[in-house]
Structure 1
Amino acid sequence: MADLFGTGAARPGHRPRQDSSAMTGAHGLVGRDALLGQIAAVLAGRAALGPALLLRGQPGAGKSALLDTAVAAVRAHGGRTVHAGALECEAGLAFSGLHQVLHPLREWAGTLPQRQRYALDRTFGVVGGDAPDRLAVSVAALALVECAAEQAGALRIVVDDAQWIDPSSAEVLAFVVRRTGAGVAFLGAARPGTDSPLDQAGLPEAVVAALDAEAAGQLLDAAHPALPPAVRGGGRGQSAGAGRAARRAERASAGRARGAAREPAAQRSPRAPVRRPGALPPVRRAPPVAAGRP
């Protein structure tokens, strides 16, 4: 394993959807050594295919956990890291994804030539005026990224859920990633079957597959060592990702605990027998009141 994810790496802070108790080892992930080696080479600028990598995997496969681990490791080694996450609700909002990436770098915007600075300001609505040409925005974004990398020593751009990046931002990011030089690395994660300018950029890809049975067993042993054998076996046989098996087993174990805590049937208060609708007596109707009578 590369030094980037060795014992000197900081403990990653996981998102709520990730089970932090399922983390083991120095880098914290089970069955992902090969993928972490690829990621480390990209972020360190040693990858043969260039300083960019796009992770592909189904929802729940563990893409976010890999990105979180990578971000924690590189932040411990200095430089600047931008960690963005695209949102489905902003997929139709032009340049919202680009704003997530460039906003943390705004401290260096003042060093750009005036023409490029105005192009970004108009794109993000900071100043009035007509929207700039897409090429002008792309060139200005590239200039800001390169400036930040030079000033910070290194720049890593990490984008999760890239399938939700709005098309305008995806086009600019693809332009930037294809042209960045030394000191800039890009790491993204997306679901398979998407089609955007970023998908068409020809970036190297790595598949995040489901854990095999052995790795899933290690995950359950680390997260829930006291699971009953029946529950543990079912979780191992249904490993869909880095955390799903553990969460499924945890829910099953909690369900068993709730069932055991219920009051025994012999101690419950007797209930009155429930009469079925068919056994109800016929409804007696009152005789109609003659018209005009009180």
Structure 2
Amino acid sequence: MKPPPFEYHAPGDLGAALRTLAEVRGKVLAGGQSLIPMLNMRLTAPEYLVDINRVASLGGIDVTEAGVRVGALARHSEVERAGAHPLLTRALKLVAHPVIRNRGTVVGSLVHADPAAELPAVLAVLGGSVRVARWEGHTQVVRDVPAADFFTGPMESAVQPGELAVSAFFPALGFRTGDAFEEVARRHGDYALAGVCAVVTLDEEAYVTAAKVACIGVGPVPVVVDVSEASGHCPVHELDWAEVGRLVQSAVEPEDDIHASAAYRRHLVGVLAERALWKAAREGAAIRGA
């Protein structure tokens, strides 16, 4: 199929891109791995397409002690190879296939806000943010949107018409903190029927001090569940992770669809939460010196 007609713009710098978006309110093309199929199937029909691939300042990966900032043009494969954030790297290995990761962008995936996608869950469980810019008057205006406010519904984000998501920030994992990402898909590279990423922090005596998960495929946005209270005050090797997994399971409300029933997805979340939490806790104990 062919896309519907649109007017094409290819600004050469960020200011020009923001001014163009302020004037035409079009769709943004970065990696295009979600947008192009939607155009071809005529699921979206924008009057204008704003290609930001010539805006060199939107590329790159900035690593600091505080975390990793990923530019809007940084490809999945580039960020995966950088290995700058362990949980982000784990998640990227689960995203589609290499040919998709070579073109798709991390920020584009976040803005696309697919409830079954891995990267929104990573941003959500880490408490990250997305930086959004717009042109106002004669200047550029920037705001940082926390993950808790960024995902507003299935395929919906807090990016408003005329705005451009310019980067995403993934906070670094703390000391003695392990991470894991578990999911079940019909085939490798398919969207997950359900998935869970986990972050677990231990103290010097290997007691769990914090534990949190984010679930995909079981709600309109990533479902974040803090299980610190349920898993705290207990050595990591004595904790009943199955019971903690059941707490996560009780917090989700999936729906039936053609791929799986709600009951099956809820069951998966419990199993995957137990597995991911245990792996994250074990990593925190073994690798980070607890």
Write 1 or 2 for the structure with the bigger share of helix: 1
- TM-score, length-scaled by structure 1: 0.24
| Greater relative contact order, per chain length (Cα 8 Å cut-off, separation 6+) | 1
Q: TM-score, normalised by structure 2?
A: 0.24
More strand by share: 2
